[in-house]
Amino acid sequence: MLRLTKFHGLGNDFLIALAADHPDAEHPLTPDPDVARALCARHTGIGADGLIYGLAPGGDEADVHMVLLNADGSEAEISGNGIRCLAQAVLRHEGRDEGDVLVETAGGVRHLRTVKGSVDGELWIQVDMGEPSDGPVPSAEAQEVSARARATVDIGNPHLVLLVDDLDDLDLSEVGPRVEESFDAGINVHGVVVDSAQDLRLRVWERGVGLTQACGSGAVAAAVAAHRWGEVGPHVRVHMPGGEAVVDLDGTRALLTGPSTFVAEVVVP
């Protein structure tokens, strides 16, 4: 039996499989792209943007090791919404509503702390997303998209941020897959509008998933890019179709604060 919990972060939904819920040493929990594709399918599976495995960490400095498989089975390095969902799953498994969780990712250990809420409902969590850096060189397709400004940002995973005047003028359902495929490792594609020095509106095309309600790492990438362009300050509210997250740029690091919401427990034969 595969025991899962389902959570969403601002409509960006994930299935979580914890090794702690699967103690059978003869059949250890192992990331499987075929399982991810089957379970994440909206019409024939449970439905989710990704399947996250919470495995035993490689060292003593973390509580859990995160492996995220997108809905298409590809592996993602990090997800700002997904990592909050994983932290809530760990807290819920341990029977606590507050405290810290240290998550080991492909990009290093991330520190998460609870802010408010309940593990059986909506829980606000802050994530130290680390130090953003420049992303890959924009492809020719990325350069051709009409935008006031463009930048690539790496938050452990790659993002292309496009500053536009009107989000309705940017058809991400067409631009997103075309630009994603023009990068060797793929890329997340975002359209952003600046409403004030503290407010951004963001639309998301996620690599390996498609159009999503929200993207935590994308919110950070958008805030970083807009801050570099001089459009916003260090404290930014990022408004997405699924809701709002807050990004604080603290020196060289980025902090992401937003909700994770428990949806259901699921057992798959």
> Residues 101, 76, 84, CA angle at the centre, nearest 5°?
25
CA distance 114 to 12: 19
Contact 9, 258 (CB under 8 A): yes
For the chain, give every domain's residue range. Answer: 2-130+258-268, 133-251
pTM listed for this prediction: 0.95
Tokens of 234: 């260090």
Instruction: Kindly give the confidence (pLDDT) of every residue in the chain, 269 residues in length, as a single tens digit, with 9 standing for 90 and above.
Output: 899 999 999 999 999 999 999 988 788 899 999 999 999 999 999 999 999 999 999 988 999 999 999 999 999 999 999 999 999 999 999 999 999 999 999 888 999 999 999 999 999 999 999 999 999 999 999 999 999 999 999 999 999 999 999 999 999 999 999 999 999 999 999 999 999 999 999 999 999 999 999 999 999 999 999 999 999 999 999 999 999 999 999 888 999 999 999 999 999 98
Contact 77, 107 (CB under 8 A): yes
Q: Does domain 133-251 have CATH number 3.10.310.10?
A: yes
Q: Which fold has domain 2-130+258-268?
A: Diaminopimelate Epimerase; Chain A, domain 1 (3.10.310)
At 10 the three-state DSSP class reads coil
Phi, psi torsion values for 198, nearest 5 degrees: -125, 5
pLDDT in tens, 26-45: 888 999 999 999 999 999 99
Mean pLDDT of the chain: 96
Asked whether this chain's domains 2-130+258-268 and 133-251 adopt the same fold, the reply is yes
pLDDT for position 67: 98
